[in-house]
Amino acid sequence: MLKSFDYNNTPDFESGQILVIDKPFRWTSFDAVNKIRFLLRNYTHNRKIKVGHAGTLDPLATGVLIICTGKATKLIDEIQSGEKTYEAGFKIGATTPSFDLETEINERFDTNNITEEQIVNVAQSFLGTSFQTPPIYSAIQINGKRAYEFARKGKNLNLDEREITISEIKINKIDMPDVMLTITCSKGTYIRTLANDFGKRLDNGAFLYYLRRIRSGNYSIKDAVEITDFENYINNLERLSK
């Protein structure tokens, strides 16, 4: 894994490297992969170098995105199967069709009767293994198209439930209507759906307004590098090689 930018021992990206990237806000996971691939194609002069990510992160989320290069792409399935930890912000009292800020608020609710004790109890009710329906605004493929493509056209979708496990859910701050949490969960868990279900269990509404992945398997945000810093590193390696 590339943890620091060492100019004396340059990594072999074709043999395989694991990059822990702090994905920028509003970038898709594919944007990040495409940027890394572009940089490495120019640096290695190998147009066919393999680059892939181990676990999609939504455009409105930031944080740990594991990118594998070269032969390390064979490890993607293994890496993305690990638990994930997120910092999340739920806004109580409203819902959106996408369960996050990708779409506008479509319904509002009175939150005056909601207590902190209720919020704590609802959070704890998600612990353990359960079934979750992915949001229709997701990248799940249906007949060769992404679910969000159908959702944006107003088409109804019936997505299959998935088994998920929430191993830890901690409330960090309650400042109504905002609730800040740290959530550790299994692969395939949609925090957006969790926010929506959170609102339902309060007999109210909620949506996700903030999401940052701080851990993916054994890889932490402390190990992550900014894409701009990685780009500068590659550009410097190219200059040093001339």
Same domain (yes/no): 90, 196:
yes
* H helices present in 45-141, as ranges: 76-80, 116-125
pLDDT at 155 over 80: no
pLDDT in tens, 53-87: 999 999 999 999 999 999 999 999 999 999 999 99
- State whether the Cα torsion 219-221-226-229 is positive or negative: negative
* H helices present in the chain, as ranges: 29-44, 76-80, 116-125, 147-151, 191-201, 227-241
Same domain (yes/no): 232, 151:
no
Active site residues: 58
pLDDT of residue 240: 79
pLDDT of residue 157: 67
CATH number at 199 reads: 3.30.2350.10
Same domain (yes/no): 94, 115:
yes
CA end-to-end span of the chain, whole Å?
26
Higher pLDDT, 227 or 11: 227
Same domain (yes/no): 225, 206:
no
C-alpha distance from residue 207 to each of 17, 118, 142, 177, 211 (Å) = 36, 17, 25, 11, 11
pLDDT of residue 235: 92
- 183 domain residue, yes or no: yes
pLDDT of residue 137: 67
pLDDT in tens, 86-136: 999 999 999 999 999 999 999 999 999 999 999 999 999 999 999 998 887
pLDDT of residue 139: 64
Same domain (yes/no): 75, 130:
no
Same domain (yes/no): 105, 148:
yes
pLDDT at 150 over 60: no
pLDDT at 145 over 70: no
Same domain (yes/no): 92, 203:
yes
Same domain (yes/no): 94, 190:
yes
- 22 domain residue, yes or no: yes
pLDDT in tens, 162-210: 999 999 999 999 999 999 999 999 999 999 999 999 999 999 999 999 9
For residue 45, give its domain range.
17-81+218-241
- 235 domain residue, yes or no: yes
Same domain (yes/no): 95, 26:
no
Domains in the chain, number: 2
What phi and psi values does residue 32 have, to the nearest 5 degrees?
-65, -45
CB count within 10 Å of CB 166 equals 20
- 5 domain residue, yes or no: no
Same domain (yes/no): 123, 91:
yes
pLDDT of residue 10: 83
